Amino acid sequence: MADPYFDPAYAAAYDANHPGLDGDIGFYAGLALEAAAKGQAVLELGAGNGRVAIPVARRGVRVTGLERSPAMLAIARQRSAGIEGLTWVEGDMGDFHLGTRFGLVMVPYRSFLHLMTAQSQEGCLRCAREHLLPDGRLALNFFSPDVALLAARMSAGNATPRPSNGGRGARSDHGSGLAMRYVKREEFEQMLGATGLEVEALHGWFDGSAYGPSSTEMVWLARPV
């Protein structure tokens, strides 16, 4: 089955179907401005059509957006024409080497989960670590798995179960055609440790609220060990 993510029509309709999460742009922009205040640039992985990278760059931050879909990149480049300090790179966030380091590597909107094996997810974290300055940070968010829901869908024969439409602006990928590999908290913490990173903070939403049993999202900050 062809990956719809590379389809120009899918890319053109992406914003209408995936408008983002309440507060996520402000969260990542705040971190980016902290890096920029130290003279550091920012790298976004899975940058898509520029929903996050473009408003961050408009705040005067130097941003590199890495994206694997040429269709998405074409839209991003068109939208960002004339914005200084914004660079687009076609590449796989599971395996990339840009030859430079950043004060912030960010992976918004659950893009990390589209890496479909533990090996590719660890590869992403390892590459992120490689591209971080010593005082840099990794920031990303993804679903907090609903174990009961996943078990029910798996028992029904769905090999790539979809998330529920959880609170505070969370939206599912129902009907998107994009598969995800879910990651539990404990597994992700182990991945971070195995790739030279450690947890700085885990929030339950972009407002900095504590992560708990009722949280629908895991919002992570990590740093090099």
102-107, strands of its sheet edge to edge? 86-90, 63-67, 42-45, 102-107, 132-143, 217-224, 197-203
- Show the domain range for 220: 4-224
Q: Which amino acid is at 219?
A: V
Nearest to 142 by CA among 104, 176, 115: 115
Whether 118 contacts 152, CB under 8 Å? no
Residue 176: predicted pLDDT: 53
Q: Which of 156 and 111 is assigned the larger pLDDT? A: 111
**CATH value at residue 111:** 3.40.50.150
Q: What is the pLDDT of residues 60-85, one digit of tens each?
A: 999 999 999 999 999 999 999 999 99
* Residues 6 or more apart in contact with residue 31 via CB below 8 angstroms: 104, 106, 137, 139, 221
Lowest mean pLDDT among 26-35, 118-127, 141-150: 141-150
Would the pLDDT of 174 be above 70? no
Global pTM reads 0.88
Provide the number of structural domains found in the chain: 1
